[in-house]
Amino acid sequence: MKRTLLLLTSLLWAYSTKAQDSTAAEPGKFTFSGYLDTYYFGNFNNPKSQSNLGLNKTGPGTARAFDQKAGQFGIGLVQAKAMYAGRKVDAVVDLTFGPFSDLGNYGNYVGPLGSGSTSLAIKQAYIVLKATDKLSFTAGQFGTHIGYEVIDAPVNYNYSLSNLFNNGPFYHIGLKAQYAFSERASLMVGLVNNVDNLTDNNKKKGLISQLFISPAANWSVYLNAIVSNEASEAVDGVPVNSANYQLFDLTTTYQITPKFYMGLNAAAGSQKGDYQGTGGPSTTKNWGGAAVYSNYAFTDKFGLGARYEYFDNKSGVRGLTDAAGNGASVSSITVTGNIIAGDGHLLLKPELRIDTYSANKFEKNSGTLTPSQTTLGMAAIFKF
């Protein structure tokens, strides 16, 4: 009898231990990834400045976000991204180095070799707490939810970035919560510091939100918004109470067939008051635009995509202006090839882009000005 009880006790203990081991927390998964890119774009205007930026009253304009060099080889960005994914907690550290780092993360970078050097930037650094299977919380610095395109060159089909992207925002620092109602619907809301800056310039916080719905298979719709008071605490000793900034954005994608893909990005924004200490505008001024995307995969290794965009900044409230510094509108057509090489790690992107402004914007080698420019070149991107 004692032997029987001892045997039963041993079996129960072994079963209990096994059950505890099976319910123990599984170790998380650590991944390391990144990319680097380089490019060359010739400019048919042959500008003396060797720049694709155009002019803006007293100096270089903002006609291009990243691919700013003309007629010369350039490097873009080197990314190193470490991610830990656990059952309850995720963590991401995303660092970048190179000329594009400071352009996409201004307000949150350092020049390790002094002024004019390439920069080391914290692109993203955040923690995700998965409270339930449907509810999660994210804290730290994360890329913006606004827009169709992202900073990461391997993710975008076109290499040169749109004017909608160029006018931001790029990143946020704060706290957000996301709830998944189902696989086809979710809602995100959050509180962040001011737009595109490491530290807040006042005590007020911005509100961000995103509603995701999938009306049908392979069709995704994102309704995005950010509303923020961007006033500095005081101008010339006089307190400033309000500088409203708001941007509403629609992004939708549809994989029509396994080879044919389309997307749309439309945005409308406004500013009022002393925006980040600029001293104006005192009245509400608006900007906005829309871009249509399409691409077709002819083979597993080659595809071709096109983007048409119209951006309206005639109020002059954003940085995109004509050569005289006045508000302007611009139409852009971009055609990009995608060639996959090097066992899938190398992306080659030949690209033609034509920008046409509502007034003179670009310099010619002759010294005259013209409203348009055409660039043609190639980008090489290595991802791992």
Q: What is the pLDDT of residue 319?
A: 85
Q: What is the pLDDT of residue 18?
A: 46
Block residue for tokens 């939100």? 209
Q: What is the pLDDT of residue 11?
A: 38
Does 8 reside within a domain? Answer: no
Q: What is the pLDDT of residue 5?
A: 37
Contact 173, 153 (CB under 8 A): no
Distances, alpha carbon 124 to alpha carbons 95, 269, 312, in Å: 7, 25, 30
Residues of the chain short of pLDDT 70, as ranges, are: 1-25, 105-119, 233-241, 274-281
Which CATH number goes with the domain that contains 49?
Answer: 2.40.160.10
Q: What is the pLDDT of residue 295?
A: 98
Q: What is the pLDDT of residue 221?
A: 98
Does 128 reside within a domain? Answer: yes
Q: Summarize pLDDT for 164-211 with one digit per residue, the tens.
A: 999 889 999 999 999 999 999 999 999 999 887 777 777 888 999 999
**Prediction pTM value:** 0.86
Q: What is the pLDDT of residue 262?
A: 98
Does 170 reside within a domain? Answer: yes
Does 40 reside within a domain? Answer: yes
Q: What is the pLDDT of residue 365?
A: 87
Full residue range of the structural domain in which residue 232 is found = 28-383
Q: What is the pLDDT of residue 200?
A: 79
Does 194 reside within a domain? Answer: yes
Does 14 reside within a domain? Answer: no
Does 12 reside within a domain? Answer: no
Q: What is the pLDDT of residue 114?
A: 52
Does 353 reside within a domain? Answer: yes
The domain tally of the chain equals 1
